[in-house]
Amino acid sequence: MNGVHDMGGMHGLGPIAPDPHEPLFHERWEASALALTLAAGAWGRWTLDKSRHARELIPGPDYLRMTYYEKWITALEGLMVDGGLVTAEEIASGSPAPGSVMADPPLKAEGVAPAMARGGPTDRPVATAPKFAVGDAVRTRNINPTGHTRLPRYARGRAGVITHAHGAHVFPDANAHGLGEQPQPLYQVRIEAAELWGPDADRRSAVYLDLWEDYLERA
């Protein structure tokens, strides 16, 4: 979707203003937001791709205003309702619906270290051979899907070169929408700055993106 989250190449969003003394969490609720999101994810009711898409679906003006963990909590509430773990009424009231049965959490304290160490690898074996090889000239497709995609707007319809083949990975455009993993080859693609930004761009600069086969055509 062409949302405000897809902001690569925009101007005017302000100075970067790094804080050299930034704490890991500014307030304790941020730590809780992180922990709740990871612990609730252990129910397996949504994928990483779906959770990214849930954050993208936050209306643009709110997305730009919210802090990172505020987006996480907003998305988490929606994911938990969609996933059937809580109801909107329970979130509004803060109390379990009358008669609800106490569940058994899938992630216990002793399971945290193994779960973090396992992570969620996205490489998958596929039977079909990759269409492209390192050194191939490609062009990114000009697509504008209304759903989730990982082909940023600034890099659509651009010529580049395959610099590495990563094997096949879960395809977010499908997986975010409950359509299964549909793994396909993933490539590292180099696009020159001048191709992205025009003749006035920095001549000695390039952007590398990791792009799925469906995003690419032979140049």
Partner 1 sequence: MAHDHHDHDHDHDHDHDHDHGQDPPSDMTLRVKALQSLLVEKGLVDPAALDAIIDTYEHKVGPRNGARVVARAWSDPAYLGRLRTDATAAIAEIGYGGRQGEHMVAVENTPDVHNLVVCTLCSCYPWSVLGLPPVWYKSSPYRSRAVIDPRGVMAEFGLKVADDVEVRVWDSTAEIRYLVIPERPAGTEGWSEELLAELVSRDSMIGVALARSPEAAA
Q: Which of residues 66-85 bind partner 1 (CB under 8 A)?
A: 67-70, 73, 76-77, 80, 85
Half-sphere exposure at residue 105, Cβ-oriented, CA atoms within 13 angstroms: 12
Residue 90 interacts with partner 1 (CB under 8 A)? yes
Determine, following the binding rule CB under 8 A, whether residue 182 of this chain makes contact with partner 1: no
How far apart CA 68 and CA 78 sit, in angstroms, is 16
Tell me, what DSSP letter sits at residue 123? B
184 lies in the site for partner 1, by CB under 8 A: no
By the rule CB under 8 A, 31 interacts with partner 1:
yes
| Per-residue mark of binding to partner 1, 38-67 (x: CB under 8 A) | xxx--x--------x--xx-------x--x
Rounded Cα distance, 178 and 219, in Å: 32
Q: In angstroms, what is the minimal distance from the CB of 177 to partner 1?
A: 16
The single residue among 2, 59, 95, 143 that binds partner 1, judged by CB under 8 A, is 95
Q: How many residues bind partner 1 (CB under 8 A)?
A: 95
Helix axes 48-56, 68-82, angle to 10 degrees: 120
Q: How far apart are CA 140 and CA 135, in angstroms?
A: 15
The whole-angstrom separation of Cα 54 and Cα 71 is: 9
Whole-Å CA distances, 107 to 24, 40, 84, 207, 212: 23, 8, 18, 39, 32
Closest approach, Cβ 187 to partner 1, in A, equals 9
If one asks whether residue 199 binds partner 1 (CB under 8 A), the answer comes out as: no
In the set 107, 159, 165, 194, which binds partner 1 (CB under 8 A)?
107
Q: The tokens of 120 are what?
A: 């969620």
Closest contact distance (angstroms) between CB of 46 and partner 1 is 14
